[in-house]
Structures are given as structure tokens and as C-alpha cells.
Structure 1
Amino acid sequence: MPTLRVMPKIVTLTAAAARRIRSLMDANPKALGLRVGIKKGGCAGMEYTMAMVEEKSPHDEVIEQDGAILLIEPTAIMYLLGTEMDFQTDKLSSQFVFNNPNQRGACGCGESVNLVPAAEKAPHAD
């Protein structure tokens, strides 16, 4: 019998992130969910992108968790593998926060990140 290879989840949502995505979906009845992607830009090299969308693109990865729907752009999958998406509120801001194991750095303002694809990470020594 062949050995099954278990792949890590692309993105998991905290309860707070799922609640926020559901509230965004409720505010726009035509919205299918929140699409997340990665684009080049910012002083650290890459930025997360997010937009409420009304339809799925052909190759989007769909994650449904606790009533929230997250669509992942195919070009972002290797940069997001194993990421936890949270939603945090403090005295001055409310925002989605990505706890991404593929992140190697971030700029001082927090708007851009330095990411490497999951396949390029060096193996961990045990």
C-alpha cells in the first residue's frame, strides 16, 4: 500500500477571522467570500491582497471554515502554506493578521513582507 503524503492546510482561520469574514459576507449579500493573494510591492518585496468577490476564479482554492469562505489565488498558495489568518482589534486599528511560517521579514510599517515559497524552505534538522 502506498504511503499517503499529508499536505499542510494552506490557511486556517482563527475564530475572530472567521467571524470578520462572515460579517463582511453578510454586509454584501452578493459576495461569495474573501479572496486572498500575494503581489510584488512594498519595501519588503511582497504584499498580501484581499478583496470581497462575487465569483470564484477557475483555479482558486476554496477554504470554508465556520461559515466563512476564503478563496486563495493559485499564485499565492506556495507562499501561504501553513498560514494562520487572524483578525485583531486594538485601540487604533482593526486588521487581518497573517501568522505565516514562510515569512522571512517585514517592513517597519507592516504593509509588506518578505516571503519564500514553502518548497524553497530549508529542511529542519531533528
Structure 2
Amino acid sequence: MTSTELTLSPSAAQRIHAIGKAEGKTLMLRVAVEGGGCSGFQYQFGLVEAAEPDDLRIERDGAAAVVDEMSLALLKGSEIDFVDELAGAEFKVRNPNAKSSCGCGVSFSI
């Protein structure tokens, strides 16, 4: 299943491709939202080779991310990005639904 409610940035797509190439596999980024963190919810990122049957698939430039239906409700309208800054390189979610987030950007509240 494909969703346009969530998007991948060009830099996230490039990074997913780079990791897959380095591993010699076709990988997808799994993005999930779980309860916890200092603001109530936290983002979880992982790399998987296959999607689960109920996952929603988001694609850009041949790269893919997968999200479970429960997490999608909290991610609608968001962009999954990859940033490489002085503080470090990481996947980030730019979530317009988040009313506040912690300093590290991994935890948020709605």
C-alpha cells in the first residue's frame, strides 16, 4: 500500500540507497511512533528488507520507507528527512502535528 500523507525528502532517499549499497541489500527505512521519551511520543527508525503486510510504503527516487498504520495517524503530513550537521547525521521527522518536542528532536507531543 502506498501513501502520499507522508513523504521522503531527497536526502533521506539518497541515504537509504547509500546504506543499502554499503550493505549489498535493498533496504527500507522503518519509521514508527511509540509512547515514551521526554515529550510523550518518540520516533523509532530501523532498516528492514521486507515490509509487514499492513505497512504503508512511501517511495521517492527508488528508495522506500515503511510505516505501520498506527504510527501513520501521528505522522500525517510529515516529511522524513536525513540531516548531516555538526552535531551528527540522522534521520529526522518534520512533523507539523507536533505541538512541542524535546531538544534532541526524537521525542514530541501532540
Identity of aligned residues (%): 37
1 or 2 for the larger relative contact order (CA 8 Å, sep ≥6)?
Answer: 2
Of the three residues 41, 44, 54, the one matched with 1:46 is: 41
Say how many residue pairs are matched: 108
Q: Which residue of 1 aligns with 2:4?
A: 9
Q: Any stretches of 5+ residues in structure 1 without a counterpart?
A: 1-7, 116-126
Q: Which residue of 2 aligns with 1:95?
A: 90
Q: Which residue of 2 aligns with 1:61?
A: 56
Q: Does 1:107 align with 2:74?
A: no
Instruction: Give 1 or 2 for the bigger CA radius of gyration.
Output: 1
Report the CA distance between 1:108 and its aligned residue. 2.8
Structure 1 runs of 4+ off > 6 angstroms? Answer: none
The residue type equivalent to 1:16 in the other structure is S
Q: Which residue of 1 aligns with 2:73?
A: 78
Which stretch shows the higher mean deviation, 65-74 or 29-38?
Answer: 29-38
User: What is the Cα-based RMSD across aligned positions, in Å?
Assistant: 1.6
Q: Contact 1:31/1:54 (CA < 8 Å) preserved in 2?
A: yes
Q: Provide the secondary structure at the position in 1 that maps to 2:79.
A: strand
Q: Provide the secondary structure at the position in 2 that maps to 1:103.
A: coil
